[in-house]
Amino acid sequence: MFYPLANTTWDDAEHSALQDVIASDRFTMGAKVREFEEKFADKFGKKYAIMTSSGSTANLLAISSAFHHPDLGLRPGDEVLVPAVSWSTTYFPITQSSLMLRFVDIDPETLNIDLNKIEQAITPRTKAVFAVNLLGNPVEADKLRALCKSHNLLLMEDNCESMGAKYDGEQAGAFGFCGTFSTFFSHHICTMEGGVVITDDRKMYDTMLSMRAHGWVRDLPSDTHLPLDPDPFVRQFRFVLPGYNLRPIEMEGALGIPQLAKLDGFVSERRKNGKQFQDMFNDLDFLDIQQERGESSWFGFAMILKGKMKGKRSLLVDAFKAAEIECRPIVTGNFLNNPVIEKLPHSVGSTITAAQDVDVDGLFVGNHHHPIPEQLARLRQVVQDVADKQ
């Protein structure tokens, strides 16, 4: 593949980290995971970070722990505002925690939740916003926080595609009460599989520690808000929350340490590629590209066809395949069009037009942590060749 969606970010440092774990003979979650968590929290300016087995389980841990947080007051049937375009496991943990999805359209420029449509979507049952920073592009944190504050809404972030993005100097994923990250292969850093949740809230952290590991209280500090049995023997198998097993393995934590140290360099190169992509594609009359807010970490490069290319995405997909350019839909497209929606309690809080355009006419190609001028040049030529034939 001349221009793949993603490629490896590993070198000898990661291979050495794996060998160290093998030599230790400790493969289940241990000291390396804790070290990675501490470094991650420090990197993103939060008190606490908790690693999970994936970005999807990071979302599950964050939402379910918020639901069981003693001070947040979430109840079954409460609504969570979500953008109509995201990954499937942005949505599933919400209904799996007995909450209700309420969909809001995306901004056609940023591809993030449309801040101008949030207020009209709020009902007396609306208690939270689960914002998504899509394809590296951060939400406008100041405006979104002001909206949440004025309506007493809990702000949480799915930042799985946007590690390293910033808005007004602040790290994406750190804008609200908690934020989630993914460390899957195609993302900004890679630990094989993996995810992280960050927060400043101690009760949220303790709740997540319990929810991540079966709902037990083993290893929780003595001053936790959760009930601890006075007998240390009994405490080992005392369960206080309806938890899961969302734990990472020690290799993933070990990999995260050198990967996190490289993150700034990775993002810097991605931003250089993003600037080149913008220069090449920003003024075409037959497609739109995602408009950056703040400092995108450019997960990938989105295109939404219009004008003479509208309705002709399949032609471009075929041309990309012939040119060895890997491409994908813009995540789920309009999630309301996915058949699984019939199984999810939900409502729609706004007109859904931009998300529908993305569903029909959107696609994206990858970005990398190193220069890709030849790949972008071929991408531009293929796009122009297809457009010239219309």
3-state helix, strand, coil in the chain (%, to 5): 40, 20, 40
Bridge-based pairing of strands 126-132 and 170-171 is unpaired
pLDDT above 90 for 332? yes
User: Domains, the chain, ranges and CATH?
Assistant: 12-258 (3.40.640.10), 263-389 (3.90.1150.10)
Contact 83, 350 (CB under 8 A): no
Residue 72 confidence (pLDDT) = 98
pLDDT digits (tens, 9 = 90+) for 244-301: 999 999 999 999 999 999 999 999 999 999 999 999 999 999 999 999 999 999 999 9
Closest to 110 in 3D by CA, of 133, 131, 87, 89: 133
In degrees and rounded to multiples of 5, residue 225 shows phi and psi of -75, -15
**Best CA proximity match to 217, nearest among 204, 231, 201, 229:** 229
d(CA 23, CA 17): 10
What distance in Å separates the CA atoms of residue 343 and residue 5, rounded to the nearest whole number?
A: 31
Indicate whether 219 pLDDT > 90: no
If you average pLDDT over residues 14-28, what whole number do you get? Answer: 98
Number of Cβ atoms within 10 Å of the Cβ of 66: 26
Spell out a b/e string for 181-210, using b for 16 or more CB atoms within 10 Å of the CB, else e.
Answer: bbbbeebbbbbbbbbbbbbebebbbbbbbb
What string of DSSP letters covers 144-171? HHHHHHHTT-EEEEE-TT-TT-EETTEE
Asked if 188 is an active-site residue, the reply is: no
- Rounded mean pLDDT, 16-28: 98
**Residue 3 φ then ψ, to 5°:** -135, 85
Give the per-residue pLDDT at 247.
98
Return d(Cα 351, Cα 103) in angstroms, integer: 9
pLDDT tens-digit map of 351-388: 999 999 999 999 999 999 999 999 999 999 999 999 99
DSSP bridge partners of 130: 156
Q: What average pLDDT is seen over the chain?
A: 98
> Across residues 217-246, what is the average pLDDT?
96
Closest CA to 9 of 247, 249, 267, 195: 267
Res 52 pLDDT > 90: yes
- Please state, as a whole number, how many other Cβ atoms lie within 10 Å of the Cβ of residue 370: 12
Confidence band for 88, pLDDT divided at 50, 70 and 90: very high
Q: 265 vs 130, 262, 292, 370, 390, CA distance in Å?
A: 29, 6, 19, 9, 40
Q: pTM for this structure?
A: 0.98
- Segment 147-198, tens digit of pLDDT: 999 999 999 999 999 999 999 999 999 999 999 999 999 999 999 999 999 9
Among the listed residues 68, 69, 151, 187, the single catalytic one is: 187
Average pLDDT, stretch 120-137?
A: 98
Q: For residues 65 and 205, give the distance between their C-alpha atoms in angstroms, rounded to a whole number.
A: 9
Pick left, alpha or beta for residue 85 (phi over 0 → left; psi -120 to 50 → alpha; otherwise beta): beta
| pLDDT given for residue 271 in this prediction | 98
Instruction: Report the alpha-carbon distance of residue 379 to residue 362 in Å, rounded.
Output: 15
